[in-house]
Amino acid sequence: MKVSYYGHSCFGVEINGRHLLFDPFISENPLASDIDVDRIPADYILVSHGHYDHIADVKRIAKRTGATVISNFEITTWLEKEGVEKVHPMNIGGQWAFDFGKVKYVNAVHSSALPDGSNGGNPGGFVIDTPQCAFYHAGDTALSMDMQLIGRQCDLCLAFLPIGDNFTMGIDDAVQASSFLKCNHVIPMHYDTFELIRVDHDEAVRKFRNAEVELKFMEIGETREM
């Protein structure tokens, strides 16, 4: 499995010969100005919720690649109206077996209005279950007890967790989340992009290490074999 970081909460994951892309927000992210949006591969685009910093480049990438967009029913319906051709609607608690593995759309504690003010349904996160690795992309969320359910049901090898605070959980709550999830490999997201979500990287690594969790910051543009 290969993981590429495109800034904010946007990751590419190559698994079982498929390219998954989570929450593309690149062309409007000044920190990701070196990333060429028009060269990112995608067979599936997974959208956690409707906020612009998770959905900004969905249409552009879906149009070029013909990728299938996976999100909640309200968001996929809105994207279809915007001209996205291939979508797979889901809702909280539901799972579907795709050709790369199973996807479960799970609860997130947040909000989800779309950029034009349309109803973006309920925000979520994704648990991806494949024979090689089960992993979790939390989207934007507070710490919640529901994360214990994921830890009970899945043996996660990796979790993408927001750590930026203010709009989502911060470092301390993300450490607690990794314990609820029973996951000791975490890649942080949703930090540093805006003034309100700047974090101290050393402090974050130290706090996770104290809980025996490895926090791996990725550089924007970096690809890593996991």
Site residues, Mn ion (CB under 5 A): 51, 53, 140
Residue 51 in the binding site for Ni ion (CB under 5 A): yes
Complex with Ni ion: residue 29 or 65, whichever CB lies closer: 29
Site string for Ni ion, 120-149 (x = CB under 5 A): --------------------x---------
Q: Does 8 bind Ni ion (CB under 5 A)?
A: no
Decide: is 165 part of the binding site for Ni ion (CB under 5 A): no
Which of Ni ion, Mn ion, none has residue 57 at its interface (CB below 5 to 8 Å by kind)?
none
In the complex, minimum distance from the CB of residue 49 to Ni ion, in angstroms, rounded to a whole number = 6
Residue nearer to Ni ion on the CB measure, 51 or 137: 51
The 3-class secondary structure across the chain, one letter per residue, is: CEEEECCCCCEEEEECCEEEEECCCCCCCHHHCCCCHHHCCCCEEECCCCCHHHHCCHHHHHHHHCCEEEEEHHHHHHHHHCCCCCEEEECCCCEEEECCEEEEEEECCCCCCCCCCCCCCCCEEEEEECCCCEEEECCCCCCCCCHHHHHHHCCEEEEEEECECCCCCEHHHHHHHHHHHCCCEEEEECCCCCHHHCCCHHHHHHHHHHCCCEECCCCCCCEEEC
Decide whether 57 or 140 has the Cβ nearer to Ni ion: 140
Residues that bind Ni ion (CB under 5 A): 51, 140
